[in-house]
């Protein structure tokens, strides 16, 4: 005689749980992919930038870009540093000397640009700029690899000390469009450009002809 209440089928319950588990596992990669997509859309270091002043953002970008340079030259031997990164290109040693020199000339033009005057190389493009860089590099060629790296660090430290003396306000001197900001904002991109050159050369990737 059957009871009025039907019994649950254990096999059916197990099968339902198995299907639910399979569905959850199948959905997991999609959820992970969605999270990755959202992460890709978010700008790098968005949290740090959210409430940063123009001054803070510039100092942050300078630190990030210089970290890329330091990573690119880390552990590079003096012998390898003296080799051109590609035919007709500078060596890492020359690049490091050049990077230090670009900090040095900014120290020279600091007061000039703060007053609103454009830097002396504003509007100068290749091949004239290449000639200026070569002229600046000529008296530095006696530097050893270790000496060049020390000079690089010392000049950036000196530049950061000068930057820390400039107050956050008025904010316009830190914003693109002002002579001082334009001069300083060119540095992070310049650092990253040369860091990428050295990195590509180290791992055997071709350096672009326009670099």
Per residue in 97-138, pLDDT (tens digit) is: 999 999 999 999 999 999 999 999 999 998 999 999 999 999
What's the CA gap between 91 and 138, in Å, rounded?
14
Is the model more confident about 12 or about 185? Answer: 185
Confidence bin at 5 (pLDDT 50/70/90): very low
Would you mind telling me the total number of residues written for the chain in this entry? 211
Please name which of 187, 195, 193, 168 lies closest in space to residue 104, comparing C-alpha atoms.
187
Q: 18-27, 60-69, 84-93, 167-176: which has the minimum mean pLDDT?
A: 18-27
For residue 127, say if its preceding peptide bond is cis, omega within 30 degrees of 0.
Answer: yes
Per residue in 130-169, pLDDT (tens digit) is: 999 999 999 999 999 999 999 999 999 999 999 999 998 8
Q: Could you count the other beta carbons within 10 Å of the beta carbon of residue 20?
A: 10
200: pLDDT strictly greater than 80: yes
Q: Note the Cα 82 to chain centre separation in Å.
A: 24
Structure tokens at 23: 């569905």
- DSSP strand E in the chain: where? none
Q: Could you count the other beta carbons within 10 Å of the beta carbon of residue 197?
A: 20
Confidence bin at 52 (pLDDT 50/70/90): confident
53-202, superfamily in CATH?
dinb family like domain (1.20.120.450)
Largest CA distance in the chain: 107
**Phi, psi at residue 72, to the nearest 5°?**
-70, -35
Please name which of 167, 159, 164 lies closest in space to residue 191, comparing C-alpha atoms.
159
Tokens 């540093």 -> residue: 81
Please name which of 202, 165, 180, 173 lies closest in space to residue 71, comparing C-alpha atoms.
202
Please name which of 191, 190, 171, 196 lies closest in space to residue 181, comparing C-alpha atoms.
171
């Amino acid at each position: 005689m059957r009871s009025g209440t039907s019994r649950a089928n254990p096999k059916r319950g197990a099968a339902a749980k198995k299907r639910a588990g399979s569905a959850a596992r199948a959905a997991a990669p999609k959820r992970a992919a969605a999270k990755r997509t959202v992460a890709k859309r978010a700008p790098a270091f968005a949290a740090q930038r959210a409430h940063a002043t123009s001054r803070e953002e510039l100092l942050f970008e300078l630190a990030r870009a210089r970290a890329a340079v330091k990573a690119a030259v880390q552990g590079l031997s003096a012998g390898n540093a003296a080799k051109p990164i590609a035919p007709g290109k500078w060596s890492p040693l020359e690049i490091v000397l050049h990077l230090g020199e670009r900090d040095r000339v900014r120290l020279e033009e600091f007061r000039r640009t703060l007053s609103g005057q454009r830097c002396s190389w504003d509007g100068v493009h290749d091949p004239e700029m290449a000639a200026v860089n070569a002229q600046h590099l000529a008296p530095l060629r006696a530097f050893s690899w270790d000496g060049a790296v020390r000079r690089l660090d010392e000049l950036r430290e000196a530049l950061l000390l000068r930057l820390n003396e400039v107050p956050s306000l008025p904010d316009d001197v830190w914003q693109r469009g002002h002579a001082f900001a334009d001069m300083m904002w060119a540095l992070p991109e310049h650092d990253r450009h040369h860091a990428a050159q050295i990195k590509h050369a180290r791992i055997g990737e071709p350096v672009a002809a326009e670099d």
